[in-house]
């Protein structure tokens, strides 16, 4: 009877200490099976779909308008597919569809699953910095990444990236304006819009990346397409809105 609570019933704000996004190119036909039919895959060259792994250090996350004393600090991880949705006005909205979410604290798992459809689980997170190299790993979630902290100097695109330059790659950097959740039973889509300030992603050079979640999806190809990082950004999510979709 309280399922409506999952529909983001109030806006939420936070300060992003850092947001790191790894975007992987996979065959569009294979990622199609992961996404509800009301959403279309956001593709590149009519061949590639994309899955982003976002790792965000949030500070003072709380209902928007509440004093910071009510905020909490969390590490959040999201596995998301780049998609599009045509709204009731006929506008094509770019956004993300959540496959899985993780956090470093059970408090976030509880409240995240109470007020969202993002399927949070709690996991261990290890963050290490040494000689300008940052490493992030989890034993429980079986992932390990390392990368050079951005310095403003040019870095090459990942080997095999489908993009020709970082300008092209930036279009699939995330986060996008919207996040979508589909209610197949009622033919409705929940739309969450994010609002950000001073969003200037910097390319990073990736040294290592291993995500068992992606391995378990058994794609025929998984190619690291880009990696970006931003720091010190105010962010908030608007209250969710629901639109109908026609099959």
Among candidate residues 160, 147, 170, 144, the one with its CA nearest the CA of residue 223: 160
Can you tell me whether residue 132 is helix, strand or coil? coil
DSSP string across 169-215 = HGGGSS--SEEEEEETTTTEEEEEEEEESS---EE-EEEEEEEHHHH
Check: CB of residue 210 under 8 Å from CB of residue 156.
no
Instruction: Give pLDDT, residue 247.
Output: 61
d(CA 242, CA 246): 13
pLDDT tens sequence for the chain (247 residues): 467 789 999 999 999 999 999 999 999 999 999 999 999 999 999 999 999 999 999 999 999 999 999 999 999 999 999 999 988 888 899 999 999 999 999 999 999 999 999 999 999 999 999 988 999 999 999 999 999 988 888 899 999 999 999 999 999 986 678 999 988 777 899 999 999 888 889 999 999 999 999 999 999 999 999 999 999 999 999 999 999 887 6
Q: How far apart are the first and last CA of the chain?
A: 27
d(CA 30, CA 50): 11
d(CA 190, CA 195): 17
Cross-strand bridge partners of residue 234? 15
Tell me the CATH number at 231.
Answer: 2.40.400.10
Phi, psi of 138 (to 5 degrees): -150, 125
Instruction: Give pLDDT, residue 91.
Output: 87
Structural domain for 97, as ranges: 3-244
Domain count, the chain: 1
Instruction: Give pLDDT, residue 236.
Output: 93
Instruction: Give pLDDT, residue 176.
Output: 78
Kindly state the DSSP code that residue 160 receives in the 8-state scheme: T
């Amino acid at each position: 009877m309280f399922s409506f609570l999952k529909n983001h019933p109030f806006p939420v704000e936070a300060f992003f200490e850092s947001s790191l996004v790894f975007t992987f190119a996979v065959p569009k036909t294979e990622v199609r099976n992961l996404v509800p039919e009301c959403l279309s895959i956001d593709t590149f060259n009519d061949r590639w779909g994309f899955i982003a792994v976002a790792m965000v250090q949030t500070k003072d996350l709380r209902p928007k308008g509440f004093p910071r004393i009510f905020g909490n600090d969390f590490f959040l991880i999201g596995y998301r597919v780049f998609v599009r949705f045509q709204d009731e006005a006929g506008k094509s909205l770019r956004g993300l569809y959540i496959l899985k979410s993780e956090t470093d604290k059970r408090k976030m798992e509880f409240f995240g699953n109470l007020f969202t459809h993002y399927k949070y689980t709690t996991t261990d997170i290890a963050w290490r910095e040494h000689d300008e190299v940052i490493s992030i790993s989890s034993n429980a979630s079986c992932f390990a990444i390392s990368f050079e902290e951005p310095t403003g100097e040019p870095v090459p695109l990942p080997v095999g990236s489908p993009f020709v330059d970082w300008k092209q790659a930036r279009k699939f950097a995330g986060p996008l304006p919207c996040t979508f959740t589909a209610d197949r039973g009622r033919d409705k889509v929940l739309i969450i819009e994010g609002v950000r300030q001073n969003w200037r992603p910097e390319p990073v050079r990736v040294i290592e990346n291993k995500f068992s979640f992606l391995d378990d999806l058994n794609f025929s190809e998984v190619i690291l397409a880009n990696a970006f990082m931003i720091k010190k950004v105010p962010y908030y999510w608007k209250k969710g809105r629901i639109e109908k979709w026609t099959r």
